[in-house]
Amino acid sequence: MFIVTGGAGFIGSAVVWKLNLSGIDNILIVDNLGESEKWKNMVNRSYTDYMHKSAFLEAIRKKGFGKIEAIIHLGACSSTTERNAEYLMENNYHYSKAVAKYALENGIRLINASSAATYGSGEIGFTDDLLKLNQLKPLNMYGYTKHLFDLWALREKIFDKLVSLKFFNVFGPNEYHKGDMCSVIFKAFFQVKETGCIRLFKSYHPEYLHGGQQRDFVYVKDCVDLIGWLLENPGVNGLFNVGTGQARNWNDLAHAVFKAMKVPGKIEYIEMPQTLRDRYQYFTQAAMEKLAVAGCPLGFSSLEAAVGDYINNYLQQTDCYL
């Protein structure tokens, strides 16, 4: 059995899609569906069972599972604007530690989701070198709880027994339910359909033009290809960035959307909410050398190719799910 926590969510449901493509359907999806629309991500997928995240936590504490091939732990609150620190501590940090301890005690392959939000403003760069882990200063509570798990794994000296992946700006199919946390590509597509215009935040940093803020945008299909490779190579462990290694600016992204939709481009620069200005990342770019040294042969899609696939094969289609 493979267990995917957050398996009805964005990256989690894409992992289930990847497993299904590999002929694997003995999968337990762990999530918290509530009243969300995430269930739609499960309709096209083949899996054995679904379990609420609280029931799963109780089960692993009672050691109530048989043989498990791997746990892909993607379940978390991923909102960078969530202010309930107690909730984030329990849901993102303590829950993840419980999952990791269970996996390690039972010899189960564990792939955990960390985040590029752990890098904060990027003042010391974006290297996944464990020697620099203690220097990071996340700008939001979400990033901090992800960072706490990585620090715990470092203190416990267990990075040789698990994988923690620092995802950069992931976008692609099955993200529709994320609300404000949906990618700008997703939002831009519907902005263009409704108004013919894409709205981007103004820059408040003298080194960046409006729309010139840069991100490492990575396609969800490439992310799950990497997870598939890690499942096939259980000897590869550690902390790894997941990005393209090439920062692109928001204007590039907007023009990729216009090109994919075959419409003329129009960009409007809007004020950034005051609450975001002191926590905004102006530049992210994953250092990818460590993954290459580990032997990973995979490449990553260009922004233009990924946006084209996402828009033409999903957002433009009636059945827009993986």
Helix (H, G, I), strand (E, B) or coil at 269: strand
CA 164/CA 159 separation, integer angstroms: 8
Is the predicted pLDDT of residue 213 greater than 80, yes or no? yes
Q: Which two tokens stand for residue 289?
A: 């050398």
Dump pLDDT digits (tens) for 135-192.
Answer: 999 999 999 999 999 999 999 999 999 999 999 999 999 999 998 899 999 999 999 9
Q: What share of the chain has pLDDT > 70, as a percent?
A: 100
Is the predicted pLDDT of residue 64 greater than 80, yes or no? no
**Confidence class of residue 39 from pLDDT cuts 50, 70 and 90?**
very high
Is the predicted pLDDT of residue 41 greater than 80, yes or no? yes
Question: So what's the pLDDT on residue 275?
Answer: 85
Is 206 within 8 Å of 262 (Cβ atoms)?
no
The predicted model gives 187-214 an average pLDDT of 97
Q: What is the residue-averaged pLDDT of the chain?
A: 96
Angle in degrees, CA 13, 18, 21, rounded to 5: 125
**Confidence class of residue 281 from pLDDT cuts 50, 70 and 90?**
confident
Is the predicted pLDDT of residue 264 greater than 90, yes or no? yes
Non-local CB neighbours of 4 within 8 Å, separated by 6+ positions: 12, 15, 16, 19, 27, 28, 29, 30, 71, 72, 74
Dump pLDDT digits (tens) for 65-107.
Answer: 889 999 999 999 888 888 899 999 999 999 999 999 999 999 9
Question: So what's the pLDDT on residue 145?
Answer: 97
Dump pLDDT digits (tens) for 237-250.
Answer: 999 999 999 999 99
Give, as one character, the DSSP assignment of residue 18: H
List the catalytic residues: 142, 178
Domain annotation for the chain: domains and CATH numbers: 2-171+217-245+283-301 (3.40.50.720)
